[in-house]
């Protein structure tokens, strides 16, 4: 009788043998980036799951409780072989490394059924360059061979299961001249009413949108506030190779009546476009960011689509860009028809202001990307927005860290909720992985010192070692003794009963694989496996 790997696991007590099983031979395996809608069935690990509603990037094994998106239907027959999981944590995709310098290659490995991990192989260009059998799994490779290389990791568990991390591409260069990953946008809004042009870090931006130019109901334009400031901005930005667009609209107290009126007729749209093009060319601007907040589904959406199509034709004839700021998700998202995706260079997703407290969580960023890409927006045209301010106090980030420097390393000071350096870094990595850029509202809210959020974004985009270290407690200095760090007594296990019933709470610390991790926000994921966790220290 043939002894299978699954039988070995059963003998070890690692799983229970079911008395009844399901036929899963016609099911596709669950894919993290695929969109699933209610009623769609998948196989994941050893089980069959059915989606209850729209979902993407939500692991069925972790989101199948009664109140969650997946329903677990039962164990598959023939039972699929459970495999280990490995995620490449470093280096960053598209990062650059000077020849002969050390390159840290790091991976997180686990198993959905707690089978022990035997070792992790690290590969460069497909060849194994080192093996590590002790967590945390990490090796150092000396950069060699100018040009692009692929980096990957493969995990092997104690019963022979293998899994690969997939590849990341890095580039070995002759010197340390750094350029952004090809096509990756770093966009900042700059308001007319506050901030100094001299304070802008132009070397860390690709686009700046001056805010805001307001239209009238007949398609004419109101005088721009602080025109001299915009002219100064254009001159300084162009000297640094940064594009400048004019942002049209804005919140404006919720009054979008001018847009609704002129966009409803061909004559009104033509008048507006003629005036706007004259403004763009007169002031040597590089493009337009349409910030109509918000066209509603229905006739308003149709008029917005017509406006964007007609404006795009005129801008492209002059070599100018067209973008739009859009709501993160929800009803008014339907005011932007899918046809608009073809007419814009990219969309700026305003993934903030979700509520009046924790208004810009990492999950909200994930949901926003999933919403727009689920409707057909390409990765390259997706630009994730982050806030440089707090709610409900509406304080600038620079004000928060002036009150307490420790605020740079957390997302709340007890009364204000915002995005500190760890979350900004995590969202930038998310944008590198799933989008085509990252933007912020707005640049004058940033700190000019070492704790700059724009610097944090730029360093992640460039694959640089962070210049400002956060220890996970709100302080900038890393503790010297990991044993001194207090942790939750419940260590992480791949089971829904840790340590708060089914999750870790924001700021909660746990031990996992000889390291301490702190949750950046509410999470069910494996410590260190994604941006919801921050590494604190290693024993």
Which residue intervals of 168-298 are DSSP H helices?
227-239, 257-262, 266-282
Q: State yes or no: pLDDT of 479 exceeds 70.
A: no
Kindly report which listed range (22-36, 361-375, 436-450) carries the lowest average pLDDT score: 22-36
Which phi and psi angles does 537 have, rounded to 5°? Answer: -165, 170
What is the enclosing helix (H) or strand (E) of 457? Answer: helix 453-462
224 CB burial (10 A radius; 0-12, 13-18, 19+): middle
- Of residues 295, 323, 296, 327, the one with CA closest to residue 311: 323
What integer pLDDT is reported at residue 256 of this predicted model?
Answer: 95
Lookup result for tokens 């033509």: 270
Whether the Cβ atoms of residue 212 and residue 252 lie closer than 8 Å to each other? yes
CB proximity list for 508: less than 8 A, separation 6 or greater: 488, 499, 500, 518, 519
The neighbouring-strand residues paired with 185 are: 437
Question: What is the distance in angstroms between the CA of the first residue and the CA of the last residue of the chain?
Answer: 45
Residue 98: enclosing H or E segment and its boundaries? strand 96-98
No. of H helices and E strands in the chain? 10, 24
pTM (2 d.p.):
0.59
Q: How many CB atoms lie within 10 A of CB 65?
A: 13
Which of 174-183, 184-193, 203-212, 389-398 comes out lowest in average pLDDT?
Answer: 174-183
Confidence category of residue 131, pLDDT binned at 50, 70, 90: very high
**pLDDT value at residue 477:** 39
**Closest Cα partner for 470 from 428, 528, 514, 420?**
420
Sorted by sequence, the CB contacts under 8 Å of residue 315 that are 6+ apart come out as 277, 280, 287, 288, 321, 322
Average pLDDT over residues 273-295: 97
Q: Report residue 109 as tokens.
A: 């490995």
- pLDDT value at residue 465: 76
pLDDT at 10: 40
CA distance 38 to 288: 38
Report pLDDT for 97: 80
Give the pLDDT of residue 474: 44
Beta-bridged to residue 85, according to DSSP, are: 110
Of 138-152, 301-315, 479-493, which gets the smallest average pLDDT? 479-493
Model confidence band, residue 394 (pLDDT cutoffs 50, 70, 90): very high
The phi and psi torsions of 97 (rounded to 5 degrees) equal -140, 135
CATH numbers and ranges of domains, the chain? 19-77 (2.10.10.20), 85-173 (2.60.40.10), 185-462 (3.20.20.80), 479-539 (2.10.10.20)
253: which residues sit within 8 A by CB, 6+ positions away? none
């Amino acid at each position: 009788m043939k002894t299978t790997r699954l039988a070995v696991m059963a003998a070890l007590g690692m799983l229970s043998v079911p008395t009844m099983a399901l036929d899963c031979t016609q099911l596709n395996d669950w894919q993290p980036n695929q969109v699933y809608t209610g009623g769609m069935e998948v196989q994941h690990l050893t089980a069959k799951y059915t989606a209850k509603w729209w979902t993407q990037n939500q692991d069925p094994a972790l989101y199948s409780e009664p109140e969650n998106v997946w329903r677990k239907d039962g164990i598959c027959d023939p039972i699929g072989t459970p495999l280990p999981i490995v995620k490449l944590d470093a280096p960053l995709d598209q990062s650059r490394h000077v020849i002969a310098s050390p390159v840290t290659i790091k991976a997180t490995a686990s198993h959905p059924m707690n089978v022990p991990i035997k070792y992790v192989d690290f590969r460069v260009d497909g060849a194994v360059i080192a093996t590590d059998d002790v967590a945390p799994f990490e090796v150092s490779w000396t950069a060699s061979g100018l040009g692009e290389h692929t980096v990957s990791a493969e995990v092997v568990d104690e019963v022979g299961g293998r899994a690969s991390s997939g590849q990341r591409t890095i580039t070995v260069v002759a010197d340390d001249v750094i350029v952004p990953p090809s096509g990756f946008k770093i966009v900042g809004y700059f308001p007319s009413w506050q901030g100094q042009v001299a304070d802008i870090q132009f070397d860390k931006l690709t686009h700046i949108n001056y805010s805001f130019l307001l239209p009238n109901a007949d398609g004419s334009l109101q005088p721009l506030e602080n025109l001299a400031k915009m002219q100064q901005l254009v001159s300084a930005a162009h000297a640094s190779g940064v594009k400048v667009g004019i942002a049209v609209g804005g919140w404006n107290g919720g009054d979008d009546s001018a847009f609704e009126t002129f966009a409803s007729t061909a004559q009104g749209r033509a008048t507006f476009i003629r005036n706007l093009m004259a403004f763009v060319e007169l002031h040597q601007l590089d493009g337009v960011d349409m910030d109509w907040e918000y066209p509603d589904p229905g006739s308003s959406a149709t008029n917005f689509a017509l406006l964007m199509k007609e404006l795009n034709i005129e801008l492209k004839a002059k070599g100018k860009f067209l973008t739009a700021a859009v709501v993160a998700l929800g009803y008014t998202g339907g005011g932007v028809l899918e046809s608009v995706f073809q007419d814009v260079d990219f969309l700026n997703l305003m993934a903030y202001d979700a509520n009046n407290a924790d208004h810009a969580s990492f999950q909200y960023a994930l949901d926003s990307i999933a919403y727009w890409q689920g409707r057909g927006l390409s990765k390259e045209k997706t630009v994730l927005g982050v806030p440089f301010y707090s709610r409900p106090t509406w304080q600038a980030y620079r004000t928060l860290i002036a009150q307490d420097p420790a605020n740079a390393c957390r997302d709340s000071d007890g009364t204000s909720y915002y995005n500190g350096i760890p979350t900004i870094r995590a969202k930038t990595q998310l944008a590198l992985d799933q989008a085509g850029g990252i933007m912020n509202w707005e640049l004058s809210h940033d700190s000019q010192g070492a704790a700059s959020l724009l610097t944090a974004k730029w360093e992640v985009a460039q694959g640089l070692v962070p210049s400002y270290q956060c220890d996970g407690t709100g302080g900038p200095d890393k503790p010297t003794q990991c044993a001194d760090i207090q942790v939750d007594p419940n260590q992480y296990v791949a089971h829904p009963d840790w340590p708060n019933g089914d999750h870790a709470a924001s700021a909660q610390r746990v031990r996992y694989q000889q390291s301490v991790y702190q949750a950046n926000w509410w999470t069910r994921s494996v410590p260190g496996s994604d941006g919801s966790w921050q590494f604190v220290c290693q024993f």
